[in-house]
Amino acid sequence: KDEMKPLNIHIVRAIITIESVYAKTIGDEYLYIRVTSFDKKVAEDVTKEINKRKASTKGIILDLRNNPGGLLDQAVDLVDLFVDSGDIVSQKGRTEIDKKTYTASKHKTITKVPMVVLINGGSASASEIVSGALQDHKRGILVGENTFGKGSVQVVLPVTEEEAIKLTIARYYLPSGRTIQAVGVKPDIEVLPGEVKSSANEFSIKEADLKKHLEEELDKIDENNGTAKKDKEDKKDNKDIITPEMLNKDIQLKEALGILKALVIMRG
């Protein structure tokens, strides 16, 4: 601050690893897997998370909300973990070279437990292929909102050393033959985002709603009492689980869990 001359500061660049797969448990029987984008290790990471809890897992929630897409092969491999036969996605263009079909193989399937897939308007491209394929194979119930609607294939063709042209050469088609482009994937059960509210408390006023209210005393409790310390420990333990409080803040997730429980009961 008070230096008159420039200072030389040595900065070491840190390696930042972006995780695309997050897994948490809901109770002892349900596995929540969030995929934020489709990078080169998505299918591998999802496989690890499922195998880690395979013995106790009765159902899976796959969260693809706000997933913008990524690598096609990872989307195909992810579907292949849950579907043992049939087409996953087809690519169709004007010429034969632009036509290709990706199919599921039985030896790659790792689980057949009931599934619910969360989608919304931010789910695009590869995440639409995954959700749409699982829907067509009746492998999972889709919950949430209609997806973005990007189902086109682009290639970049060089014109000069400094210029290139990007062309749309084909479209993606789901196993049923429907296209994703401009229409997206429609959920089986539409649920708008928001928090869970109790009708009994909807119009009630509490102390915390009043201006100048006294702040909560939870964090000010005497350390010898141990209550505040225990709450902090509980928050640390919650990093690997979905708590009731988290469910109440995400109505789409809460509805997905209710549907998943029903599917598990119906299967017996």
Residues 6 or more apart whose CB falls under 8 angstroms from that of 230 comprise none
SS3 224: coil
Residue 184 lies in a domain: yes
Residue with tokens 């292949």: 80
- For 53-68, the pLDDT digits (tens) are 999 999 999 999 999 9
CB 247 within 8 A of CB 25: no
Q: How does residue 199 score in pLDDT terms, banded at 50, 70 and 90?
A: low
Same domain, 157 and 237: no
- For 130-183, the pLDDT digits (tens) are 999 999 999 999 999 999 999 999 888 999 999 999 888 999 999 999 999 999
Residues 6 or more apart whose CB falls under 8 angstroms from that of 167 comprise 154, 155, 156, 157
Same domain, 180 and 57: yes
SS3 256: helix
Cα angle vertex 195, ends 260, 18, to 5°?
75
Same domain, 104 and 235: no
pTM over 0.85: no
Q: How does residue 3 score in pLDDT terms, banded at 50, 70 and 90?
A: confident
Same domain, 228 and 259: no
Same domain, 179 and 236: no
| pLDDT score for 15 | 87
Residue 160 lies in a domain: yes
| pLDDT score for 206 | 59
Active site residues: 125, 136, 150
Residues of the domain holding 56 = 21-194+250-267
Q: Where are the alpha helices (DSSP H) in the chain?
A: 42-52, 72-80, 126-136, 227-237, 244-248, 251-267
CB atoms within 10 A of CB 188: 14
Structural domain count of the chain: 2
| pLDDT score for 203 | 47
The answer to whether residue 253 scores a pLDDT higher than 80 is: yes
Residue 3 lies in a domain: no
